[in-house]
Amino acid sequence: MSDVALILGIRPDVIRASKIIKLIDEFDEFKLDFIWSGQHYSENMKDVFFNQLNVRKPNYEFEIHGKSDADIVSSTITSLYEHFKDHKYKAVIFLGDTNTVMGAIAAAQHNIPIIHIEGCMRSYDWRMPEEKYRTTIDHLSDRIYAYLDSYKTQGINEGIGESRITVTGNPIVDIIFENKYLFSQGADLVEESISTIIKTEDYVLATCHRRENILDIDSLKSIVSLLNSIEDKIIFPMGYKTQEQLSKLQIEINENVHIVDPIGYIEFMYLLENSKYVISDSGTVIEEACILGIPSIQMRKSTERPEVYDVGASVKFDPTRKNVNKKIVSEVIKLVSTKWNNPFGDGTASEKIAQDIRSMYLDDSFHRHDRKDYPFNTDRSYMS
């Protein structure tokens, strides 16, 4: 019987947790069950990332059902609740802010201690499902790994006990540092149409998937208008929901925008590292660009990663407002020749997280009923 479980469900989580999984698997003291929630299920949204990052296959894979967030969340909670009946874990680990992390409710119902990697990040944009999810799991969690001191402060300001939050740095730095030598292989993995573009001219890389962007007609049109204002070739690996929305709404994109289906991690990082700049609403892509020294346009009303603005690595484009597209593009071009310091850590986050989990296991610290601030932190000012 395994002692600790890690539950993941989407592509970026596989990337970010890949080294943590390998480190914990090396421990003799306990075993890790890797559980895949089933939130991302197609091969090019999941399996390719296991293969390219040499991540072992999950011990368990759920088949969750439904199209809405409510369907996916309820299916995840039910699947995990039933799984936890037969698997008495000492702790369960979640990462990020997706539908999958709401499975923490099932762990809480079984009184299993909860560990949250990527805690206390806040965009303060309540339209985002992710903002609701990360707030919920942070307040359920017994141990939170926050990437930066500023994130920890945000959690404390919400009444989360300081002793529950450990600052580690961002594991995505570790992954980039250790796999950077692989990125050049992406030149041989991209399809021929992309290969022709990157060999002959400068290009811009683009991604767009957030629901508050693609499901809002005005925001989506604003984003396409931005893309259509750019003269460079644009390579756009486009998620299936985004493709569906553009087709349904009959929104036209200029011919210089080359749309392809989602691609693998190594291909994407090769394209990112060699791009002129990137346009994205993905928090992970914006982090990766910042770490690699690639300027970005962040298509967000607000972000949980304001550090990219602080260091001068990114330009904000708010799709909910009327923007002067040429001004936005000219601003990001100014960043092409500039340099900034990576604000996300020194590449040791995965080691810190894995070793802390090991220490808690050895100290037998996985006990919800021993948490002094359970169920609420007693230092909340409004409770005193």
Both structure tokens of 105: 């409710």
Tens of pLDDT, residues 275-296:
999 999 999 999 999 999 999 9
β-pair type (91-95, 165-167): unpaired
Give domain 175-334's CATH superfamily.
Glycogen Phosphorylase B; (3.40.50.2000)
Active site residue 87: no
Judged by DSSP in three states, 160 sits in coil
Judge whether residue 32 has pLDDT over 80.
Answer: yes
Average pLDDT over residues 70-82: 94
Question: Which own/partner pairs from 271-275 qualify as long-range (CB within 8 Å, at least 24 positions apart)?
Answer: 271/186, 271/190, 271/194, 271/198, 271/203, 271/205, 271/235, 271/237, 272/205, 273/183, 274/198, 275/203, 275/204, 275/205, 275/235
Cα distances from 38 to residues 10, 70, 97, 225, 367, in angstroms, run 8, 15, 15, 34, 28
Judge whether residue 43 has pLDDT over 60.
Answer: no
Q: Which helix (H) or strand (E) holds 357?
A: helix 349-362
Both structure tokens of 91: 């702790």
Q: Check residue 338 and give its pLDDT.
A: 95
Both structure tokens of 280: 């994205």
Q: Check residue 377 and give its pLDDT.
A: 40
Distance CA 358, CA 148 (A): 21
| Residue-range domain boundaries for the chain | 4-169+348-383, 175-334
Q: Find residue 32's DSSP bridge partners.
A: 4
Cα Rg of the chain, angstroms: 21
Tens of pLDDT, residues 215-269:
999 999 999 999 999 999 999 999 999 999 999 999 999 999 999 999 989 999 9
State how far Cα 245 lies from the chain centre: 22
Distance CA 222, CA 76 (A): 34
217-228 and 325-334 helices, crossing angle to 10°: 60
Considering the candidates 110, 139, 209, 367, report the single residue annotated as catalytic. 209
11-25 and 349-362 helices, crossing angle to 10°: 50
Distance CA 223, CA 211 (A): 13
Tens of pLDDT, residues 111-121:
999 999 999 99
**Global confidence as pTM:** 0.91
Tens of pLDDT, residues 154-169:
999 999 999 999 999 9
* Domain 4-169+348-383 identical in fold to domain 175-334: yes
Query: CATH fold of 4-169+348-383, please?
Result: Rossmann fold (3.40.50)
